[in-house]
Amino acid sequence: MCRAQAVDLFPSPAELGGAIIDDQGMPEKRTRDHVRHGTTSLLAAFNTADGTVISSTHRQHRTIEFKKFLTKIDGQVPVELDVHLICDNYATHKTPAIKAWLAAHPRFHIHFTPTGSSWINQVERWFAYLTDVLLRRSDHRSVQVLEKGIRAWVSAWNDNPKPFVWTKTAEQILDSLRRLAKRINRADTNSAAHNNAAPSPVASHAAPYSAIPVAPAPCRANCRSRRASPSAR
């Protein structure tokens, strides 16, 4: 499983989970705002068999960085093994330079997840775990410190790696999606039928539905940018 993710540096007070209790017995808080002071790109390859991770950090995520990462994987995976990389459709994974590198390394095989289906790539779950355990509960004052913390965390992970196990079969997941699709289609059908129904006598003298002004709901979400990149992580 191969993927890259941009990690933002927020050196303001750490963003903490709402129900976590600190060493003083008080609930830890989530900061209202933050200031971005830098970004690094974490590339990681998650071994689905044993849970080990090959990773590297780069200030940018271009073809040259991705090729360096492929070379790192090539040097760390035993030469007698084929390497199957599951990646998303990020353009960096498909450049002529990458295609030429893959042609020169025939043991590498890249498989792309369908558009909008990155969730099936297990490295995404690993990134979520890293975010929850390390990034949201830490306070880094520079990009260098951030990268050092990530490398230390990955090293500790590899000392006791844990592969992820699907708790549902592919058939169960597909059945669940089919049930969802039926509910959505049924709701769309009912909505269309309701909109096309003749107005009742009571409502016939009222203003048309389309003429009733609707005030937009206020948006209260605090946004923190977290760009998703290639799956060669």
Q: What is the residue extent of each domain of the chain?
A: 2-165+225-231
| 204 exposure class (CB count in 10 Å sphere: 0-12, 13-18, 19+) | exposed
pLDDT at 32: 65
**Which segments of the chain does DSSP mark as H helices, in order?**
63-76, 96-104, 122-133, 143-159, 170-196
Which pLDDT does position 196 carry in this prediction?
A: 66
Spans of the chain, pLDDT less than 50: 9-19, 201-233
* Neighbour-count burial of 140, counting CB atoms closer than 10 A to its CB (0-12 exposed, 13-18 middle, 19+ buried): buried
d(CA 7, CA 143): 10
CATH topology of domain 2-165+225-231: Nucleotidyltransferase; domain 5 (3.30.420)
Q: What is the pLDDT of residue 14?
A: 39
- CA-CA distance, 24 to 190, in Å (whole number)? 54
Which residues sit opposite 46 in a β-bridge?
A: 53
DSSP-derived pairing of the beta strands 108-112 and 83-87: parallel
Rounded distance between C-alpha atoms, residue 90 and residue 88, angstroms? 6
- Hey, which residues does 5 pair with through a beta bridge? 42, 228
pLDDT given at position 190: 74
The amino acid present at 112, given as its one-letter code, is F
Cβ pair 44, 126 in contact under 8 A: yes
Closest CA to 163 of 84, 47, 56: 47
Cβ-count burial 46-75 (b if 16+ within 10 Å, e if not): bbeeebbbbbbbbeebebebbbebbeebee
The sign of the torsion formed by the CA atoms of 101, 126, 121, 15 equals negative
* pLDDT for the residue 142: 86
